[in-house]
């Protein structure tokens, strides 16, 4: 009778140990999974930052004064106003 209670106790302890070990494995897997997610997110941030800079570069090059001046005069037929044409609004 005493032997059997020992077996039960050992078995329970072994089960607890097993559960703890499985929990450790599971949490480690979760950490790795979150680590992958973080890594992908950071890569995405990096890529998007790069794309933003690329777009900013294109925007700046497209709106450079020389290009705007060329577009205004050659494409739209605009010209700089004469001093007497300029009205100042207070």
Print burial letters for 37-51: b (CB count within 10 Å at least 16), e (below 16).
Answer: eeeeeeeeeeeeeee
| # binding residues, another protein (CB under 8 A) | 32
Site string for another protein, 26-45 (x = CB under 8 A): -----xx-xxx-xx-xxx-x
Contact window for another protein (CB under 8 A) among 2-10, 18-26, 58-66, 71-79 = 58-66
- Positions of E strands within the chain: none
Handedness of CA 41, 47, 48, 50 (dihedral sign): positive
Residue count (the chain) = 90
The residue ranges that bind another protein (CB under 8 A) are 31-32, 34-36, 38-39, 41-43, 45, 49-51, 53-54, 56-57, 60-61, 64-66, 69, 80, 83-84, 86-90
């Amino acid at each position: 009778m005493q032997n059997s209670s020992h077996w039960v106790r050992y078995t329970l302890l072994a089960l607890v140990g097993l559960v703890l070990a499985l929990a450790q494995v599971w949490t480690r897997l979760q950490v790795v999974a979150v680590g992958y997610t973080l890594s992908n997110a950071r890569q995405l941030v990096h890529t998007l930052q790069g794309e933003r800079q690329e777009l900013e570069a294109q925007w700046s090059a497209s709106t450079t004064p020389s290009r705007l001046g060329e577009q205004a005069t050659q494409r739209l037929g605009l010209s700089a106003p004469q001093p007497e044409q300029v009205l100042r609004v207070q």
